[in-house]
Structure 1
C-alpha cells in the first residue's frame, strides 16, 4: 500500500500462518516525547494484519475484497526503536468454507497483531475486524 510505504512500514515475512512487518524509527515516526507515534504503531499493526489476512485468504485472495470494519489497539509500554508487528488469523476467525462461497457472498474475518520492540518487549496489541466480500466476476 502506498500510504504504508510513506510512513516506512515494511513487510518482512509472509507465510500461511503469519505476517511480520516492521517500522523503523525515524524522526518522522516519533511523537513529541521521543517515542514511536501511536498512529505509526497502529499503521504497522494494520499492515501486518492485512498481509496475514491476505495469506489466510490465499485460495481466493484475488477475488476477495476486504476492508477494515473495526479495530482496537492497546498500548502497553513506550515504543522505542524499530518495532516488529506479528499478525495472525486466530483459528476459526476466517469463515470456514469461504472457498466455496458464491459471487457477492460476504463474511467477517478477525486478525490480531502483537507489536514488539528490539528487546522483544510487547509494546502493543491490536485486533482488526475485516468485512470481506467475494467479488462478482461478471
Structure 2
C-alpha cells in the first residue's frame, strides 16, 4: 500500500501554522514534487504593491517541504528532516497569485541508503516560482538535512 498523497496534502496543509497564516495553498504533493500557491492578498504585498520577497520565499520553502514529504513520506517515522539552508534569486516583479513548484531530482533509495550507512544525508530541492502568465519570477534552492531518528 503506497502513500495516500491526498491525505498527506491535507495533513501538511494544516500542520504548519505559519503557512496557513500566510494563506499559502498546498495544491499538490507527489513523489519528489510539491506545488504551492501564494495568494494575491494585501497582507503579502510590498511597498510597490507586488508580492513581498518573504511571501515568495515562504511559498518556495513550503513547496520544497511538500516535495520532500512526497518522496520520503513512507519513511518519515524514522527520519528527522530540516531545511538546512536556502537561496533565492528574484527574476521579475511578482504580481498576482504565484505558483511555486518544487522538484527533488535525487534518487530517494540512494539517499535512504546514505541515511542507513551514515545516519544522515543532505540534498537540494529546486523550486521555480511563476506568475499567472507562466513567467518565472524567482528561482530557489532549498538544501535539506535529513538524519535518522533516535530509536
| TM-score normalised according to structure 2 size | 0.83
Residue ranges of structure 2 left out of the alignment (5+ in a row): 1-15
RMSD: 1.9
Q: Distance in 2 between matches of 1:28 and 1:106?
A: 38
SS in 2 for 1:74: strand
Change over 3 Å in CA distance of 1:17–1:97 after alignment to 2: closer
| TM-score normalised according to structure 1 size | 0.90
Say which of 77, 92, 116 aligns to 1:62.
77
Q: Map of 1:1-138 to 2, 5 A cutoff?
A: 1-92=16-107, 94=108, 96=110, 98=112, 101-102=115-116, 105-137=119-151
Q: Are the equivalent residues in 2 in contact too, given 1:60–1:99 (CA < 8 A)?
A: no
Deviations 1:9-49 (A, max 9, x none): 11101111411100101110000000000000000000000
Residue ranges of structure 1 left out of the alignment (5+ in a row): none
Change over 3 Å in CA distance of 1:97–1:71 after alignment to 2: closer
Change over 3 Å in CA distance of 1:113–1:61 after alignment to 2: same
Aligned length: 136
Deviations 1:63-113 (A, max 9, x none): 211111111100000000000000000234x57151584498111121011
